[in-house]
Amino acid sequence: MSSVILATAIVGVAGLVIGLFLCFFSEKFKVAVDEREEAVRAELPGNNCGGCGYAGCDGLAAAIAKGEAEVSACPVGGDAVTAAIAAIMGVEAGTGVRMIAHVNCAGTCDVAKEGYEYSGPKDCLLASMAPGGGPKACSYGCLGFGNCVKACPFDAIHVVDGIAVVDKEACKACGKCVDACPKNLIELIPETAGQVVDCSSKDKGKDVMQACSVGCIGCGLCVKACEFDAVTVTDNVAHINQEKCTHCGACVSKCPKKIIHVQGEEDESKNKTGDV
């Protein structure tokens, strides 16, 4: 019995010594945490989407506390979160422009032709490796298999009639869909953007018309119509400089293929619930 008591005492004393040892060194070598970092982290929404460019909300909070990131760096939180973080950091919040994702393709099932019947995996990346960049006759067009849909943590993008469509109210501009699209068809644009070109084809006009009835043919009529030098044609497709665009609509009215739209209006007639 005495041997049991002795063994228990030895274990108890050893545990106490080890505990004191650990306590001493944890205090001696502990890393101080910036209180502002903890406060900023508490204000961030916690989606950990990576849209800010950092490894989740913890990474962004640390960067903001160190002055390495703007107080408005979180694309999900919006103005309210920006204002709260600015107050913590003691800086002006400023007025940011809300960004939204936009799909530069209008090649729905009824206007875009199929080059061949595709029976492979319903995955945009894998399909883009197939002959011709996928089954669509336009090698630049949206494949419609929904990689962007799967990537979006906010249910803000769906495949409707064969192409991806963004729900601009739900979009948080995290950029996940941009990274997921193997065709590089999705970009983040200001919510205040005026006109947009819903085409990314670099093919010549004749080839475009054979593949899609609404594709940009690079005719340049939009360039001539714009009085503000906001429209250019590069690689056979029109581009709009949003900083120069005055929303006059001249390019919209002159486009013979009706592929230039007022931002947002091109999605109004589409079912937001989508196919995917």
Domain containing 254: what range?
99-267
- For residue 141, the tally of other CB atoms under 10 A from its CB is 28
Q: What are 130-172's pLDDT values in tens digits? A: 999 999 999 999 999 999 999 999 999 999 999 999 999 999 8
> Are 117 and 235 in the same domain?
yes
200 with 238, same domain: the answer is yes
Taking the C-alpha atoms of 253, 140, 274 and 169 in order, what is their torsion angle to the nearest 10 degrees?
-60
- Would strands 157-160 and 163-166 be described as parallel, antiparallel, or unpaired? antiparallel
Tokens 């949206």 sit at which residue? Answer: 142
* Any domain includes 15: no
pLDDT at position 269 over 90: no
CB–CB of 259/106 below 8 Å? yes
Residue 14 lies in a domain: no
Count of domains for the chain: 2
User: Rounded distance, CA 262 to CA 178, Å?
Assistant: 21
Same domain, 123 and 61: no
- Examine the pLDDT at 276 and tell me if it is beyond 60: no
Contact (Cβ atoms closer than 8 angstroms) between residue 165 and residue 147: no
Same domain for 176 and 255, yes or no, is yes
Q: Is the dihedral of CA 147, 151, 155, 157 positive or negative?
A: negative
Distance CA 228, CA 232 (A): 11
Last residue of a domain, one of 71, 89, 107: 89
Residue-averaged pLDDT of the chain: 87
Tell me, yes or no, whether 140 lies in a domain. Answer: yes
Per-residue confidence (pLDDT) for residue 30, from 0 to 100: 53
Q: Does residue 73 share a domain with residue 148? A: no
Same domain, 146 and 229: yes
pLDDT at 28 over 60: no
- CATH number, residue 195: 3.30.70.20
186 and 260: one domain?
A: yes
Q: Tens digit of pLDDT for each residue in 207-246?
A: 999 999 999 999 999 999 999 999 999 999 999 998 899 9
The CATH number of whichever domain residue 39 belongs to comes to: 1.10.15.40
Give the tens place of pLDDT for each residue, 161-203.
Answer: 999 999 999 998 889 999 999 999 999 998 888 899 999 999 9
Q: Does some domain include residue 30?
A: no
